[in-house]
Amino acid sequence: MSKPKILVVRAIFAEVIARLDQHFEVESNQNDESWSRAELIEHMQGKEGAFTTGGDRIDAELLAACPQLRICANMAVGFNNFDIKAMTAAGVLATNAPDVLTETTADFGFALLMATARRITESEHFLRAGKWNKWSYDMFAGSDIHGATLGILGMGRIGQGIAKRGAHGFGMKVIYHNRSRLDAALEAECKAGYVSKEVLLKTADHLVLVLPYSPASHHSIGAAELALMKPTATLVNIARGGIVDDAALAIALCNRTIAAAGLDVFEGEPALHPGLLTVPNVVLTPHIASATLPTRLAMASLAARNLIEFFAGNRPPTPLNPEVLVLK
Ligand code: GLV
């Protein structure tokens, strides 16, 4: 019996490709060539499955051009690159890669918060530029993490991981806002108190964004929200580009209406708003919150499992639109 044909859109671990090879006829982009949209559609021709990453847009146009496609397995927890409605209408299963990256991403969120509040990269640039020639009492004075109020917008698994680090590790007071309130046991575990978005913005010394991107969460933090924050506050975005209005943030950082920001995600990435590159009080990283090799391998392996189980006629571990599944 011939094996189903799949496309692996970006380079991934050789061991994952080897595993996929056992089940599928695999075309993979192991040279990691940059494909245009038209090239992606061309490579997708004849493929029943696709192993995608968060940058690969799967929408009605692509689905119409690739009618044989039956599943797209994203190697990311976020899936705003998928038009789920269009995929469901086309009978195409979407899967993501949750859970396996939670702790790694929460670690990174905390690292970015620490680097931002304590001005680590800004002071390193100063040192590397040979400008350190004397001590001064307020040189690169930042703001404290321990004992401060940590605000979290979006209290899913990663938000909870950050809350626990803050509350248990650094004695922070944790407040959060989320579409739905956590149950009492989970709030107690995270030592986190539920507040309105307005109170969160006005009260947090450090605000970490961990909410999923959707049209409803677009520009959740814009000029009006930034204006509510304390002038001493730091803002950390490990959620998605588009959650923050980057142009408004660049102005707030330039005018010091907030103290600093740490950003791992950007509107229109890998491009950056030019205003973010000229202000010193921002720490910038290239969307690496889940980037440790064990975690990336776990994410890739989960995406591969979704493909393998689907074509074996079983329920894949992490379906996003299970209503399209017709199981054996
Ligand atoms: C990373 O941003 C992910 O969604 O996994």
Q: 139 with 222, same domain?
A: yes
Residue 269 annotated as catalytic: yes
Q: 119 with 89, same domain?
A: no
> According to the model, what pLDDT value does residue 269 have?
95
CATH of residue 260's domain is 3.40.50.720
Q: Among residues of the chain, what percentage have pLDDT more than 70?
A: 100
Q: 167 with 223, same domain?
A: yes
Work out the average pLDDT over 287-310: 98
Q: 37 with 153, same domain?
A: no
Spatial separation of the C-alpha atoms in residues 211 and 188, rounded to whole Å: 21
* pLDDT one-digit tens code per residue, 41-96: 999 999 999 999 999 999 999 999 999 999 999 999 999 999 999 999 999 999 99
Active-site residue (options: 206, 287, 296, 305): 287
Domain tally, the chain = 2
Spatial separation of the C-alpha atoms in residues 51 and 327, rounded to whole Å: 21
Q: 176 with 253, same domain?
A: yes
* pLDDT one-digit tens code per residue, 83-130: 999 999 999 999 999 999 999 999 999 999 999 999 999 999 999 999
Work out the average pLDDT over 151-173: 98
Q: 209 with 247, same domain?
A: yes
* pLDDT one-digit tens code per residue, 187-231: 999 999 999 999 999 999 999 999 999 999 999 999 999 999 999
Q: 52 with 167, same domain?
A: no
Helices 102-117 & 120-128, crossing angle to 10 degrees?
Answer: 60
Between the CA of 71 and the centroid of ligand 1 the distance, in Å, is 19
Between the CA of 154 and the centroid of ligand 1 the distance, in Å, is 15
Domain that holds residue 241: 102-284
Between the CA of 78 and the centroid of ligand 1 the distance, in Å, is 5
Active-site residue (options: 25, 27, 103, 269): 269
Check pLDDT > 80 for residue 12: yes
The residue whose CA has the least distance to atom 4 of ligand 1 is: 78
Q: 115 with 229, same domain?
A: yes
Q: 298 with 156, same domain?
A: no
Q: Which residues of the chain form beta strands (DSSP E)?
A: 5-8, 25-28, 49-52, 71-74, 93-95, 149-153, 173-177, 192-194, 206-209, 234-237, 260-263, 282-284
Question: What is the position in ligand 1's atom list of the atom closest to the CA of 75?
Answer: 5
- Strands laid side by side in the 173-177 sheet: 192-194, 173-177, 149-153, 206-209, 234-237, 260-263, 282-284
Residue 112 to residues 37, 51, 107, 287: CA-CA distances in angstroms? 33, 29, 9, 12
Residue 287 annotated as catalytic: yes
The residue whose CA has the least distance to atom 1 of ligand 1 is: 76
What is the residue-wise DSSP string for 40-102?
Answer: HHHHHTT-SEEEE-TT--B-HHHHHH-TT--EEEESSS--TTB-HHHHHHTT-EEE---STTH
Residue 157 annotated as catalytic: no
pTM of the predicted model, to two decimals? 0.96
Pocket around ligand 1 at a 6 A CB cut-off: 54, 76-78, 101, 290
Which of 245, 147, 258 shows the shortest CA–CA distance to 202?
258
Q: 218 with 236, same domain?
A: yes
**pLDDT classification of 135: cutoffs 50, 70, 90:** very high
Q: Mean pLDDT over all residues of the chain? A: 97
Question: What is the position in ligand 1's atom list of the atom closest to the CA of 79?
Answer: 4
Q: 243 with 171, same domain?
A: yes
Check pLDDT > 80 for residue 162: yes
Active-site residue (options: 10, 240, 296, 305): 240
Between the CA of 192 and the centroid of ligand 1 the distance, in Å, is 24
Between the CA of 139 and the centroid of ligand 1 the distance, in Å, is 36
Question: Which among 52, 105, 217, 266 is the best mutation to test ligand 1's pocket, defined by most ligand atoms within 8 Å of the CB?
Answer: 105
**pLDDT classification of 299: cutoffs 50, 70, 90:** very high
**pLDDT classification of 328: cutoffs 50, 70, 90:** low
Q: 64 with 161, same domain?
A: no
